[in-house]
Amino acid sequence: MQYRRLGRAGLRVSTLSLGSWVTYHNQVDTGAAREMMAAAFDAGVNFFDNAEVYAGGKSEEIMGAALKALAWPRLNYVVSTKFFWGLDRAGDAVNRKDTLNRKYLMQAIDGSLQRFGLEHIDLVYCHRSDPHTPVEETVRAMSDIITQGKALYWGTSEWSAADIRAAWEIAERHHLHKPVMEQPQYHLFHRKRVEEEYARLYDDIGLGLTTWSPLASGLLTGKYRDGVPEGSRGAMESLAFLRDGLTNPAKNAAVAQLEPIAAELGGTLAQLALAWVAKNPRVSTVITGASKLSQLQANLGALELLDKLTPEVMARIDAVTRLLAD
């Protein structure tokens, strides 16, 4: 396993990491989570991603129970969570959903710590931006969470470059803890935010990236070329909004053109897609997901393709995918 610094921070995270979105509680119980986390850890993975909203808090509970059973030294792993959507979304749910106000954030961190059974969380993210709360209020609350020892680093997820810079400048001006990392979606068909919009932030403020959806929710595995397979993410009613993208004819045709490239390199389509994301030096870690151990093991094999992604190979991949990317 290779390790990279989280942007300009001193913390080092594994190039591939393991996330719990969709899978934990819905497809993976505590026993399976423990088995896959143990296998990932044995392979060198040290970062495990989560969020308050995943499975309505159950994902944090499952990961917390797995961590307790595994009993790793606390210095040996990095855990994250994210706040914004809230757990109680019924009705108006004032101050309980879709917000980054101080009241919500200060209570959200306590709830996550309780569900995880941890004394602190390593990385906490603002899961989306909040146009109704002053950025300074959010920055001060996140900085206070770190000052209180409840988290070690904070960052953002799917924020605009302008909002990230505004938050960083507020923290700089008031001598507060600055945002260190951003968690954007990044894959062969979704690239412009990482490669263009954020381009100046990497050097200007030392932004690190913990990217999600490297396989485009499974599109880049090739499984959707003939429709939506039973038991796949695309078949889940809670993720019905993904289906049009997963069955897009042009993108699936491009995926078919990538298959011989992957085969030439001795890998699978999924491994090629994962390695492509990891090839970007601005990416600190690529968050992978798996509902079974065999998927996890296959994903970890992507590291073997990294050195094979020569400029020539990258150009071939680019020729197939760039015009279809947003």
Give residues with Cβ within 8 angstroms of 63, minimum separation 6: 20, 24, 33, 37, 48, 50, 79, 116
Among the listed residues 24, 54, 77, 125, the single catalytic one is 54
Q: Is 125 a catalytic residue?
A: no
User: Which tokens in the block code for residue 190?
Assistant: 């979704």
DSSP letter string, 73-116: -GGG-EEEEEESS-S--SS--TTTSS---HHHHHHHHHHHHHHH
Residue 149 CA to residue 11 CA, distance in Å, equals 16
End-to-end CA distance of the chain: give it in Å, rounded.
30
Structure tokens at 290: 């798996």
291 alpha carbon, distance to own chain's centre: 16
Angle between helix axes 293-300 and 269-279 (nearest 10 degrees) is 50
φ, ψ for residue 182, nearest 5 deg: -125, 145
Burial code (b: 16+ CB inside 10 Å, e: under 16) for 185-224 equals bbbbbbbebbeeebeebbeebbbbbbbbbbbbbbbbbbbb
Distance of CA 40 to the CA centre of its chain: 16
C-alpha 180 chain-centroid distance? 15
Q: What does the radius of gyration of the chain's CA atoms come to, in whole angstroms?
A: 19
Would you call 210 helix, strand, or coil by DSSP?
A: strand
- For the annotated catalytic residues, the residue numbers are 54
